[in-house]
A and B are shown apart, each in its own frame.
Chain A
Amino acid sequence: MSAAFVAVYTRDIRLALRRRVEALLPVVFFVVAVSLFPVGVGPEPQTLRVIAAGVVWVCALLASMLSVANLYALDHSDGSLEQMLLSGHPPTVIAAAKAAAHWTTTGAPLVLAAPVIGLLLDMSPAALATLVAALLLGTPVLSLLGGVGAALTLGLRSAGVLLILLILPLTIPALIFGSGAVGAVDSGISASGHFSLLGALLIFTALIAPLATAVALRIALE
Chain B
Amino acid sequence: MSSLRWSTFSAPSRFYALVNVLNPWLWGLAIALTLAGLYMGFFVAPVDATQGNSYRIIFIHVPAAWLSMVLYLAMAFWAAIGWMLNARMASMLARAIAPTGAVFTFLALWTGSFWGKPTWGTWWVWDARLTSELILLFLYLGYIALVSSIDDAVRGDKAGAVLALVGAVNVPIIYFSVVWWNTLHQGATISMTAAPKMAQTMLMAMLLMTLAFWAYAFAVVFTRAQALAVEREGHADWVRMVARKELQ
Contact = CB atoms under 8 A, between A and B. Distances in A.
B146 A166 contact: yes
Interface string A149-179: 0001100111000100110111011001100
B99 interface: no
A173 B174 contact: yes
A176 B181 contact: yes
A177 B177 contact: yes
Contacts of A173: 170, 173-174, 177
Contact of B135 (A169, A177, A201, A208): A169
Given A169-B135, A219-B155, A219-B162, A153 B170 contact: no
B169 interface: yes
B150 interface: yes
A183 B177 CA distance: 15
B139 interface: yes
B159 interface: yes
Contacts of A170: 166-167, 170, 174
Given A165-B138, A201-B173, A152 B180 contact: no
A220 interface: yes
A162 B155 contact: no
A220 B162 CA distance: 12
Contacts of B239: none
A217 B145 CA distance: 18
Interface size class on chain B is 20 to 34
Contact of A172 (B135, B141, B163): B135
Contacts of B170: 169-170, 173
Contacts of B155: 219-220, 222
Contact of A208 (B139, B166, B177): B166
Interface residues of A, number: 29
Contacts of B154: 222
Contacts of B185: 183
A215 B141 CA distance: 22
A167 B177 CA distance: 16
Contacts of B165: 212
Interface of chain B, main secondary structure? helix
A180 interface: yes
A216 B159 contact: yes
B94 interface: no
Contacts of B173: 173, 201, 204
B94 to A, nearest CB: 15
A19 to B, nearest CB: 28
Contacts of A176: 177-178, 180-181
A127 interface: no
Contacts of B248: none
A169 B142 contact: yes
A216 B166 CA distance: 11
B1 interface: no
A169 B159 contact: no
Interface in A34-57: none
Contacts of B158: 219
B184 interface: yes
A60 B178 CA distance: 20
B162 A156 contact: no
Contact of A162 (B146, B167, B177): B146
Contact of B141 (A165, A197, A219): A165
Interface of A: 148, 152-153, 156-158, 162, 165-166, 168-170, 172-173, 176-177, 180, 183-184, 197, 201, 204, 208, 212, 215-216, 219-220, 222
27 contacts: A152-B146, A157-B149, A158-B149, A162-B146, A162-B149, A165-B138, A165-B141, A169-B139, A169-B142, A169-B167, A170-B174, A172-B174, A172-B177, A173-B170, A173-B174, A173-B177, A176-B178, A177-B177, A180-B181, A183-B185, A201-B173, A204-B173, A208-B166, A216-B159, A216-B162, A219-B159, A222-B155
Given A216-B162, A219-B155, 11 more contacts: A152-B146, A152-B163, A156-B150, A162-B149, A168-B138, A169-B135, A169-B170, A170-B170, A172-B177, A201-B173, A219-B158
Interface of B: 135, 138-139, 141-142, 145-146, 149-150, 154-155, 158-159, 162-163, 165-167, 169-170, 173-174, 177-178, 180-181, 184-185
